[in-house]
A and B are shown apart, each in its own frame.
Chain A
Amino acid sequence: MANPEPTRQRRGLVAIDGAMALIVILLVVQIWLLSATLEAFLAGHSGPVIPAAIFSGLLFMAALTLNIFVNRIDHSSRRP
């Protein structure tokens, strides 16, 4: 009979890798958003400044949620 422990750890690792990839994507979007907002602000357009900040905040919240998810998965996969 196969040992279930390595399977659980492998699944946890895949979930963590997936969450990390998602955070990287969110971060790339945030970097683009910040540079585009700065460019617009310096060009004298202050219209997109507040929506961009709200959207960036939502992206940060998503990244934070994924971070908490990674911590939980890590703890549960290490649990004896």
Chain B
Amino acid sequence: MPLMHNPSNDRLWKDEFPVFTSDERYVTRRQFTKFLTLASLGMFVGNLWIVLKSYLSKKSSYPALDIASIGEIPVRGVKLFSYPTPQDRCIMVRTGEEEYVAYSQKCTHLSCAVYYSVKNDRLECPCHQGFFSIKDGSVLQGPPPRPLPQIVLEREGGKLIATGVKVSGNG
């Protein structure tokens, strides 16, 4: 590896962002302005990406998935399942004789898996002590910025079917 390096043979980006300290030089105002404008373009592209994601998520429909049979889990019991894709882990809790709720198991803070605390009757994230209401998935305490996405459940005969995902903001 050469100790001295001649930047003039390299491409422009290598010249502007050199590996060797000795090759560094001051960035001109014009170059810096160009960099800021490119960063601005990046922000705009980011906003367009969100528009695209929003459009695609509106078009997508959720499949109906048989999760469990009624009475399969005891009151205050829990069943884990995946919905709508195998990567989306969810948690279903039987809160009463005839009451079932299901939420995404991914904490809205940093995506740790939440669990049901029978003692406190709430969903808890063990990573940063984020607590969610078992009634509607809203944030009770801790750093999570949003409620847990709720899985829409429907009864069909003796079966519990997941039919959608309800995402809501805090307040």
Complex interface residues of chain A between 26 and 80 (CB less than 8 A to chain B)? 26-27, 30-31, 33-34, 37-46, 49-50, 52-53, 56-57, 59-60, 63-64, 66-67, 70-71, 74
Q: How large is the interface on A (under 10, 10 to 19, 20 to 34, 35 or more residues)?
A: 35 or more
With A41-B53, A53-B50 known as contacts, the answer to whether A46 contacts B40 (CB < 8 A) is no
Whether the pair A23, B168 counts as a contact (CB closer than 8 A) is no
Whether the pair A56, B43 counts as a contact (CB closer than 8 A) is yes
Q: Is A17 interfacial (CB 8 A cutoff)?
A: yes
Q: Is B54 interfacial (CB 8 A cutoff)?
A: yes
With A33-B47, A41-B53, A46-B54 known as contacts, the answer to whether A60 contacts B40 (CB < 8 A) is yes
Chain A's closest residue to B41 (CB) is: A60
Q: Which residues of A contact B169 (CB under 8 A)?
A: 40, 43-45
Q: Once the chains are docked, how many angstroms separate the CA of A58 from the CA of B46?
A: 14
What is the predominant secondary structure among interface residues of chain A facing chain B?
A: helix
Whether the pair A42, B41 counts as a contact (CB closer than 8 A) is no
Q: Is B20 interfacial (CB 8 A cutoff)?
A: no
Whether the pair A63, B36 counts as a contact (CB closer than 8 A) is yes
Whether the pair A53, B48 counts as a contact (CB closer than 8 A) is yes
Residue pairs across A and B with CB atoms within 8 Å: the count is 99
Q: In whole Å, how far is B1's beta carbon from the nearest beta carbon of chain A?
A: 37
Whether the pair B29, A70 counts as a contact (CB closer than 8 A) is yes
With A20-B32, A53-B48 known as contacts, the answer to whether A43 contacts B40 (CB < 8 A) is no
Q: Is B152 interfacial (CB 8 A cutoff)?
A: no
Q: Is B128 interfacial (CB 8 A cutoff)?
A: no
17 A-B pairs whose Cβ atoms sit less than 8 Å apart in the complex: A24-B36, A27-B39, A27-B43, A30-B43, A33-B43, A33-B47, A41-B54, A42-B167, A43-B168, A43-B170, A44-B166, A56-B47, A60-B43, A63-B36, A67-B33, A70-B33, A71-B30
List residues of A whose CB falls within 8 A of some B CB: 13, 16-17, 19-20, 23-24, 26-27, 30-31, 33-34, 37-46, 49-50, 52-53, 56-57, 59-60, 63-64, 66-67, 70-71, 74
List residues of B whose CB falls within 8 A of some A CB: 29-30, 32-34, 36-37, 39-41, 43-44, 46-48, 50-51, 53-54, 57-58, 108, 145-146, 166-170
Which 4 pairs from chain A and chain B are nearest by CB?
A: A43-B169, A44-B167, A30-B43, A63-B40
